[in-house]
Every structure is written in C-alpha cells, then in structure tokens.
Amino acid sequence: MQFFIPKNYFFYLCFYTGVFLVFQNYTLSAQDTGIRKIDSVLQLAATTDNPILKIDLLNSASFALIGIQTKKGLELAEEALALAEKINANKQSGDAANSMASHLMMLSVFDKAISNYLKAIDYYQKANHEKGLADIYGNLGNLYYFLGEYSTALAYQFKALPVFEKLNYKSGLANTFSGIGNIYMIQNSLDEALRFDSIALQLYQETKDSSGIALVYGNLGNIFNDKGNIELAVKVFEKAIQIYESLGVKDGLARNLSNLSTLIIGKKDYLKAYQLLKKAHQVFKEIEYTNGMILSIGNIGICHYKSYLHYDQQDSIISILPGKKSEHLEKAIQLFSQSISIAEEIQDLESIKYFTNVLTELYNRTDQKEKAYPVFKKYVAAKDSLNNIESKKQIQKLITEREVALKDKQIELDKLAVEKKRNERLYFLIGLALMAISLLFIYRNFKNQKKSNLVLEKLNAQIGATNAELASKNDDLTSTLVTLKQTQEQLIFTEKQKENAFLRSKISQDIHDDISSGLTKISWLAETLKAKSANTSDSSLIDRINNFSREAVIKLGEIIWSTNPERDNLPSLLTYMRSFLNKFFEDSQITCNIQFPDPIPELPINPELRRNIFLVFKEALHNTFKYSKASKLDVHFSCENYIFQLSLKDNGIGFEEGSLQGSGNGLRNMERRMQAIGGSVQITSVLGKGTQILFTGKLFA
C-alpha cells in the first residue's frame, strides 16, 4: 500500500502550472505585486484618455488575477475585449480573449474557454502577433491535456514549438517542452517524457528561471519513480524542494514533499515519510488548499497504519513511528476518519473512495466488522458516483468535441465570407480608381497639348531674336557652372579622402574669394544688362539669372561655413544657427524665443556632426514655417556630459500622429541624418496645440 495521490490532483497541478508559465512574463504578476498593485493599475486605466493604454492596462490586471479573483478578472477581460473590438485593435482583442479563456479554464467552463482561445487565434493572426499565437497554442495544449485528449494536446504543443524557435523565445520553448513532457508522462511514454523534460530543464537553466527548474525536477521525480529508479527520483525531488523553499513557492514545496513521501514509504522509512507529510500538511494549511490537507492527513494515517502492521517486524530496513502499537492503530483510525470527513464536506470523491477503502481494510484486519460495514457503504457510494461522473464526462466530451468542430467550421466559413466581401470591395475600388486615373490622364493630355501648342507658337517667334544675344551670356554662365561643378567635385573628393583641415580651409577661402565674387559679378552684370534691355521677355530671363546667382551665393555661404575647419566647434555652430534662424523668420509672423547656453562651452565637434545638426535644424525650421501656422517658436539647445538636446516647439495647429503632411521626405531625411551621427529624432504633436521636434545625440570631435 502506497500513499494516495488522486489522478485529478495531478491534473489540476499540471493545468494550473501550465497557465502560470504562459503568463509569468506578462506586464503584471499578482504573486509578485499583490492586489494593491493591480488596484493602482486599474485606477490608471480609469483616468487615461489613451484607448490602447486603457485596454493594455485592463488586460494586464485581468491576467494578473488568474487563479486569484477569477470573477473580477473575467469582467476586466470582457471590458477590454469590448473596447478593443470597438476600435479594431486586433492584438489587444487577442489578449482579452486569451485572458477570458484562461479564467474560464479555471472555472472548468471548457467549451467557452476553447471558443475564446480560437477567437484569440483569429485576432492574433490578423495582427501578425506570432508570440501571442504560440502562447494560445500552448494554452490549448494544456486545456486538452486536462480534458484527457492527449493527441490533440500534443498537436497544439508541437504547433507552438516552431513559432517560439523562430522568435528565439527560450521561456516559451521551455514551457512548451515541459508541457509535452507532462503529456508523454501521463501516457506512460516515459523515455519521451524524460527527453522533453531534459530539454526544458536545460532551457530553464539558460534563462535562470528557478521556478521552471524546480517544476521540471518535480516532473523528473515522477518519471524516475515510474521507471523504477527510486534513488534518482529522491534526488531530483529533494532538489525541487530546496528550490521551492528558497523561492517561497508554497504550493510547489507542498506538492514535492508529498511526492517524495510516496517514495520514502516504498522504502519502508515510515518515520521520514511522516516528517515530510507533517511539513507538507503545514504548508497546505497555510495556503488553504483543502485537497492537499486531506491527502496529507490521510497519508499520515497510513504512516501510523504501516507502523502498526510492522510493529513486530522491525529491522534495519523498516523504520516505524515511535509509540505503542495500540496508539498507532487508534491514531490511524482517527486520521482516516478526519480525512474522510473533510473530503465529504467538499465532495472530494476520489479521496472518499480511497480512504474509506483503507479504513474498511483496517477494520477487517482488526476484527471490527461492525465498524467496517458503514465505512464500506461510503466506499461503494463514492465509487458509484465516480463511475457516473466519468460516464457524464465522456458524454460531455463528445458533445464538446462536436460543438468545437461546428464552431471551427463556422469560424472558417465566416472568415471565407469576410475575405470574399473584402476582395469584392477591393476589386470594385481598384476598378473605379483605374477608370478615374484613365479619364484624368486623357483630360490632362488634351489640356496640356492645347496649352503647349499656344506656348510653342509664341516661343518660336521669340527664340530666334534672343538666341544670338543670349549665346555670349550663356558662355559666361556655362563657364561659371563648370567651375562650380569642378569645385563641388573637389570638395566631395577631399571629404572622402581625409577631410584635411588645411585643404578644407583653402577650399573655403577659394570659394569665398573666387566663386562667390564671380557669382556676385554675374549678378551685377545681369542687373546692368537688364537696365539696358527693353525686351520684357529678356528682362524676365535676366531676373532668373540674377536670382539664381544670389541663391547660389547664399548656398555657397553655407558651404563655406560647413567646410571651414575653424568653425568645427560648438560656439560657431550655435552662433550660425542663431543667425540663420533670425534671417529665416525675418519677414514672417513667427516670433522666435532662442535659449542657448550662456556662455557656450568651447567644445570641438566633428565637421560631419556639425553639418548634419545644422541641416536637420534647417529642415525643422522649413517644416515649421510651411505647415505649423504658428505664431511662436521656442528653440532650446542644451548639452550635458557631451549629450546634446535640440528642441523646436511651436504653438501651431499640430497634427494627429501617424498622419504627417506632405510626402514625409523631410522626416525621413532628418531621421537618416540623425542616425548617421548616432542620434535620434522624436516628434510629438497634439492636434490644435502644437508640435515639438526633439533631436538628441552625442557631441564628438
């Protein structure tokens, strides 16, 4: 006779542990943070205006309440799902459905749990959330394992494995391998169970997950026990107990103490088994786990009963409890009766059946037939009830399987119908778009052709008269442009070589002395020519030449500044930025508030860094002027420990994040330039309140 550990007890532990492992890395852990932490999260959810944040907080609190406050956790998940579905937040909808299913599992409402898990899969597929899908597959594996449908459970666990492997998510892999090991163990495929639990143990050790390590040690203890390797089973159970004690995980500690005691009783060391069970009973009592208390009380009674039976057979192998033989018999009867009484209160039929059977045997052995009969009647009643329950379970199982199959089929049909409607709508819109584009293209070509004919007639008359006069001027302009191109190529070449400071200085001086003065001279000559020419069309062309020359002079000024090595310092950069800012908004309605350090630190900076900071600053000013409709712009620059922050904040119209105006090239250019110098750009905007652009990076020479 060995200690009693009922099948349902083992199932419950494996199921609950599986659910815990799946969600142990979520935002909150009720075991770690407590109910107060959950309440604070719910308060934050009640006050936030961000719908996604609110849903995430509700889901976090719901997950944290699994196994603690199931009703409240289910209500939070239902609220989160309703909000998420309202705004089509697929990932958050999947989280909520996942949480609902897990709470329903704890309530043993398995058909609804399966339905919600399948719903979560659909949402996660739409959101392309692979980790969520793998978690659901693992949860379904645990659920079908609990229902005794081991082939289906294995299929879901093996479906989760490749996803976790793709994500290189070791915690998920470890949980899945452990779940597969449990399934093989209950199927008595001990070698396979040992193989998968060994892999899980290695992964838990790599991730330093002490709770997972202890869980696998407990599983290995059961496997080694079933394989007949008692000594090795004892060792791994003791390791599990040691880890659970250090972690303060009481349910794991009590479970492994009970399991270890079953091995010790097999070795006939009833005294040590008694000590282990006393400790297990105390822990079960602390965590208020009634089923565990029933088992520990009844199995302590078996220790006394065994001591009574072997009282006159003591040797070096058998170790009984101290006390008189009659005392052991009385104590065994008392403890069996106590465990049966508690089991009857909570209708634990497995415990009633087992301990009434043991007590009947005791009364028969000790010639107390009149006491044996009423106890035997309880045994028969419990046995019949269990048989009836098992029959009902089989019927319910068949009903559940059919309902799930029908729901799966309906979900598939619904998905196909939605996909068909989506495709029909898409094809219709594409057809309309193509038709509109075709009509627009035809109309535009007609208008352009008509305009082109008129313009060509006028231009042909003017071209002949102006070609001769412009020929000489074109020669001068061509010569200047060639010089500019050659200088630009020389600049690029020298920058790519070494950015020699002496050469950069010489180029800067040459541009200033030769090209800039040449462009200025071209501008002056154009003004002179304009004054002498009476032809209106010629004047327009000369104005364009003049404007292009002036713009080239301004741009060359920027190039001269950026290439001058004497400007490779922070004061020069901020001074130039201040000057550029004042000129940029000189004729605008935007008032600028500049906050630069005073005094400015004398820090040398890399020329490429200086150039990129100025260019993103310039791009940001351009966007503010063009789009913000602001009346005020605050520009702030700070530097601490070589980390700089450049902030531009306006009081303009703002925009909804994710809907930037224009093509977005400006933002991409700013991001690309900041990435090139190891920095970042962050844009924050509130519709109707303005926009802030924040550049952050590290100054380096």
CATH number of 569-698: 3.30.565.10
pLDDT given for residue 423 in this prediction: 82
Asked if the bond preceding 597 is cis, omega within 30° of 0, the reply is: no
User: Residue 486 burial by CB count (10 A; 0-12/13-18/19+): exposed, middle or buried?
Assistant: exposed
Q: Which tokens is 675 given?
A: 């990435």
Model pLDDT, residue 305: 93
Ranges 311-320, 419-428, 511-520: which has the least confidence:
511-520
pLDDT of 314 reads 65
Question: Per-residue pLDDT averaged across 330-336, rounded?
Answer: 95
User: Residue 659 has what pLDDT?
Assistant: 66
| For range 650-658, the mean pLDDT | 86
pLDDT at 513 over 90: no
> Which two three-digit tokens encode residue 78?
């239902």
Tell me what pLDDT residue 9 has.
Answer: 41
648 has a pLDDT exceeding 70: yes
In percent, the amount of the chain with pLDDT more than 90 equals 55
Q: How far is CA 442 from CA 51, 109, 289, 438, 447, in A?
A: 46, 64, 80, 6, 9
With bands split at pLDDT 50, 70 and 90, how would you rate the model's confidence at 487?
low
Above 80 in pLDDT, residue 323?
yes
pLDDT at 27 over 50: no
User: For 281-320, what is each residue's pLDDT tens digit?
Assistant: 999 998 888 889 999 999 999 999 999 999 887 677 888 9
Q: Return mean pLDDT, the chain.
A: 84
Least confident of 295-304, 426-435, 503-512, 684-693: 503-512
Residue (of 409, 407, 339) closest to 375 by Cα position: 339
Residue 219 identity (one-letter amino acid)? N
Which run of H or of E encompasses 66? Answer: none
Average the pLDDT over 341-347 and give the result: 92
Query: What would the two tokens of residue 197 be?
Result: 């639990």
Q: What is the predicted pLDDT for the residue at 4?
A: 46
Amino acid at residue number 507:
I
**pLDDT band for position 489 (50/70/90)?**
low
Res 542 pLDDT > 90: no
Dihedral sign of CA atoms 456, 461, 466, 471 in order = positive
The whole-number average pLDDT for the span 608-626 is 95
pLDDT greater than 80 at residue 526: no
Tell me, what's the pLDDT at 556?
Answer: 75
Segments of 18-115 assigned E as strands: none
As a whole number, mean pLDDT of residues 46-68 equals 88
| Dist CA 553 CA 547 (whole Å) | 10
Secondary structure (DSSP) of 261-324: HHHHHHTTBHHHHHHHHHHHHHHHHHTT-HHHHHHHHHHHHHHHHHHHHTGGG--SS-BPPSS-
User: Can you give 387-454 as a three-state secondary structure string?
Assistant: HHHHHHHHHHHHHHHHHHHHHHHHHHHHHHHHHHHHHHHHHHHHHHHHHHHHHHHHHHHHHHHHHHHH
pLDDT at 479: 72
Can you give the pLDDT at residue 8? 39
Q: What is the pLDDT of residue 22?
A: 39
Per-residue pLDDT tens digits for 444-478: 888 888 887 888 888 878 887 777 777 777 777 77
DSSP 560-594: HHHH-GGG-BHHHHHHHHHHHHHHHTTTSS-EEEE
Q: Does residue 280 register a pLDDT over 50?
A: yes
- Range of weakest confidence among 120-124, 346-350, 563-567, 593-597: 563-567
Q: Would you state the pLDDT for residue 553?
A: 66
Q: Per-residue pLDDT averaged across 51-60, rounded?
A: 92
- Domain positions in the chain are 1-128, 424-565, 569-698
CATH placement of domain 1-128: 1.25.40
Band (pLDDT 50/70/90 cuts) for residue 29 is very low
On the question of pLDDT at 351 being above 60, the answer is yes
Proportion of the chain above pLDDT 70, given as a percent: 81
What confidence score (pLDDT) does residue 146 get? 82
Q: Which residue has the higher pLDDT, 665 or 351?
A: 351
Q: Is the CB of residue 673 less than 8 Å from the CB of residue 608?
A: no
pLDDT at site 518 = 57
Tell me the helix, strand and coil percentages in the chain, rounded to 5.
75, 5, 15
The answer on pLDDT for 496 being more than 70 is no
pLDDT band (50, 70, 90) for residue 26:
very low
Res 538 pLDDT > 80: no
What are the tens digits of pLDDT across the range 145-198?
888 899 999 999 999 999 999 999 999 999 999 999 999 999 999 999 999 999
Q: How far apart are CA 298 and CA 1, in angstroms?
A: 13
In order, the DSSP letters of 183-250 are HHHHTT-HHHHHHHHHHHHHHHHHTT-HHHHHHHHHHHHHHHHHTT-HHHHHHHHHHHHHHHHHHT-H
**Mean pLDDT across 431-452:** 83
Across 22-31, 214-223, 502-511, which has the greatest mean pLDDT? Answer: 214-223
Report the candidate in 671, 679, 675, 684 with the shortest Cα–Cα distance to residue 698.
679
Q: Which residue has the higher pLDDT, 439 or 531?
A: 439
